[in-house]
Amino acid sequence: MTDVILILGNQLVPDHPALRKYPDARIVMIEADDICRQHRFHRHKLMLVLASMRHYAAASRREVAYVEYRPGSVFRTELGEQLDTYDATRLIWMQTSDRGPNAALEEIAAQHGCEPVTLANRQFLTTPEQFDGWLGEKSAPLMENFYRWQRRRLDVLMDGGSPEGGRWNYDQENRHPLPRRRLKIPALPTTRRTRHVNDVAALVDEHFADHPGRSDNFWLPTTREQAVRWLDAFVDERLELFGRYEDAMAADAPFLFHSVLSPLINLGLLLPEECIEAAVEAYRRGDAPLSSVEGFVRQIIGWREFMYGLYWCRADAFDANFFGFRRTLEEWWYTNNSVPQELPAPVRVCLDRVHEYGYSHHIERLMVFGNWFLISGYQPREVYEWFMSMYVDAYEWVMVPNVMGMSQYADGGMLATKPYIAGGNYLQKMGHWFDSAAAAKESEFTRRYWQFLADNDDKLAGNHRLALVLKQARARAT
């Protein structure tokens, strides 16, 4: 009997469960052209995944059958050849975060006479089965209720049966704009440009020249050691002020006090539990306030796990278009060339940044990009495709609920209790994007905000959270 362990490019976890359980199995890792072209991936996303895969294989204490990238290569074919070469009788993998690959791997195993063996996914703290048990028949599940269930279940920041400090969340304290007298914002740690990064950069430039981004400014960790250093730097240098300013924006500061750990957690270089433990330990030492630590904990065991669970258990809800929008994204969203001069400053600046880094923090994604796409009437699947292409931390499991549900309200309110839309006033308050409050009030953001409410009054009239602004929109239209 020959066992083959397949380690996928976004499952680069330390102490992979298959390696422990099957010490004599063959290990296979594959770079395939068709996988690299599933979307118009930002070059930094391709570099991050491919270079990290190569580092992971090189660091393995066991021999790895590593299939490097070839133009035109197909994952299914490459894996089949490996199974036939080893006369495999079992194909073993860790359950994938996205739904589709699991079914595909079972098909490939059957085609090559292998028994499929799937192990639990270590990249999450809540299995789809556990989430489904919590979800039950809830028609509109609330993340806050799930988060409290998680805190109790995982015993994180708990004082017996009560939340640490007597409160479940400090959301109201974590919505401050940056002070006018600017704070010193620590830079992200620098990462050494390794041989694998250089090799992959050349590969990407040659074969993916029409993809967004460029290779010479690559900035992300690609090894376990570099990833741990990023976690340590966040806890030591930015966690203290993270909570207070997690909703703030600044035209000249792309990262602020955010952890920027999502690309590394989603890839497997960091595990969610070790990130939680590091933050909680900082609170216990007195190095970070409870409001910041709780906010960070909520992002991981609350929001991240909530999105994952809804993706697995309510996927059909997101395959909708509540407003019936049909507008397609213009090519300049992908190229950053010939961008309309009238594009508002927040969108213009954030678009430059996402092309530069393949990243922007969550409030810019939701309240700049998502807001603009929604009030401009873009088709939700078009918006989803752009996010999947442009962001280094994007995977189907996270982008389907976050973009289709949270950002674009395509599900009609199953996830979010109201559309996340705002005019220039909110953007000015949180980021000082415009020359003045008057300019923000007269901006294209504000005009489209009110027009969106007027155009969609019939669909939103029953939403009590929008009752006041809908009344205002009707008054403006008369």
381 with 408: CB under 8 angstroms? no
Please indicate, yes or no, if residue 217 is contained in any of the structural domains.
no
Which value, to the nearest 10 degrees, does the dihedral of the CA atoms of residues 70, 75, 76, 82 take? 70
Per-residue pLDDT tens digits for 20-57:
999 999 999 999 999 999 999 999 999 999 999 999 99
Q: What is the pLDDT of residue 172?
A: 87
Over residues 358-367, the pLDDT tens digits come to 999 999 999 9
Cα(462)–Cα(457) distance, integer angstroms: 9
Q: Which of the 8 DSSP states describes residue 171? A: G
Indicate whether 282 belongs to any domain.
Answer: yes
pLDDT digits (tens, 9 = 90+) for 120-173: 999 999 999 999 999 999 999 999 999 999 999 999 999 999 999 999 999 888
Q: Is 207 within a domain?
A: no
Number of domain units in the chain: 3
147 with 279, same domain? yes
On whether residue 220 sits in a domain, the answer given is: no
Q: What is the CATH number of the domain that holds 53?
A: 3.40.50.620
* Co-location of 165 and 106 in the same domain: no
Say whether pLDDT at 477 is over 90. Answer: no
pTM for the full predicted model: 0.97
**Domain boundaries, position 155:** 128-186+238-313
Please check whether residue 204 lies inside any domain of the structure.
no
| Residues 155 and 275 grouped into a single domain | yes
- Three-class SS state of 176: coil
Q: State the pLDDT at residue 104.
A: 97
Burial 280-319 (b: 16+ CB within 10 A, else e): bebbeeeebbbbbbbbbbbbbbbbbbbbbbbbbbbeebbe
Instruction: Give percent of the chain above pLDDT 90.
Output: 97
Q: Are residues 341 and 309 in the same domain?
A: no
- Beta bridge mates, 92: 5, 117
pLDDT at 145: 97
pLDDT band at 180 (very low <50, low <70, confident <90, very high): confident
